[in-house]
Structure 1
Amino acid sequence: MKKFIMGLVVGAVLMMTGQLYAASPLLGKKVESSVSVILNGKSIGSGIVVDSKTYLPVRTISDAMGMKTTYKSGVVTVTGEENAQQAAEQQAEVEANTNQFNTLNAAYFELLTKVDSLQTLVKGYEEKLIPEWEAKVSNQPKNPVNTATLDRYKTQLQQKRDELTDAQTKLQAAKTAVEAYVKDHPEYEKFIAKLPQ
């Protein structure tokens, strides 16, 4: 008799567990990751990813949208309309922030390209042109054309070095400006995580 009752209890527990899992498709599922959720350019909290779908508390998103959330008898109700003026202001702010970030970022990458180009030019002068013309002057010391050409290339090299130093200084300032902007606007952080040095 005890075995029968024990079997009945175990069966009932298993049956209830099956119903519980059937009632909610998320129960027993593995949370794959946690993600930041950004609404209109502003972080509103974190959600979880289960089966490649992101889940976020209803209250978190409805509050962020200026809506009212109530819970009664197992039902969540979201009511109200988003304030159109507030939404327009938020959108304008997001667009202004995005434009500012894009401007700073574009200036940074333009300077990065310029620095790379100048470094290549300086290297070409230092490793090829100058040694080549120094050898010509050494082999023909009385040829004024060789000496003049070498002097011209040395002057150009110094100009390119000066330009490179100036561009590197501006590049560092541009990088600092982007990083400072992102510090105040963390929603753009993912875009600068790998800024070249």
Structure 2
Amino acid sequence: MHFLSLACSLLLPITSGATSTIQDPLSYRDLAGGYVPPKSANVTTLLEFINSHPDLSVLADELQTIGGFPKAFDTEPTWSFTFFAPNNDAFELHTGTYFNEFKSTPKGKWWLGNTLLSHYVPNTNLNSSSFNETYQRFQTASYLYVGSQVQDGEIILNNVATVVEKDISVTKASLSWFGLLLFCATH
């Protein structure tokens, strides 16, 4: 009996201390340390480019809230890719109250991360000459397909998003801004 009370008095603080340090598994954590790949001095990363353009300030702010995205976007790419960056007008006009309320939740952050992956085309350098009047599709990093077509001299994505600036090179990447997100209404 005396042994049981001694064991309880010794183990109870250990087990209660262990349970109080467990974090919510759905929350994002800041990971201190870790490997940071080196960057060349003359290279502009995608994150640096986004941060340097006032028209992409909402995207820059949202990237900071999604786990892993700031480090990934700040990595010097050694591959070709295309990123269709939603500008401030896209966020302001076409995300709505639902998005603004939902984005603070873990599932909302996951959803925003998946949405941004749908704007990223890996291992492909799409430029304005890649598009024509024929409706064609290309696959994004989220394995979804995006339809594209040139209409009246403008590149239209999924019949809703208009590319407003194109053929911007960042290191080995081609970056395009478009004025509407893929989940918005008509253009």
Larger RCO (CA under 8 A, 6+ residues apart): 2
User: Normalising by structure 2, what TM-score?
Assistant: 0.27
User: Normalising by structure 1, what TM-score?
Assistant: 0.26
Structure with a larger share of its residues in helix: 1
Structure with a larger share of its residues in strand: 2
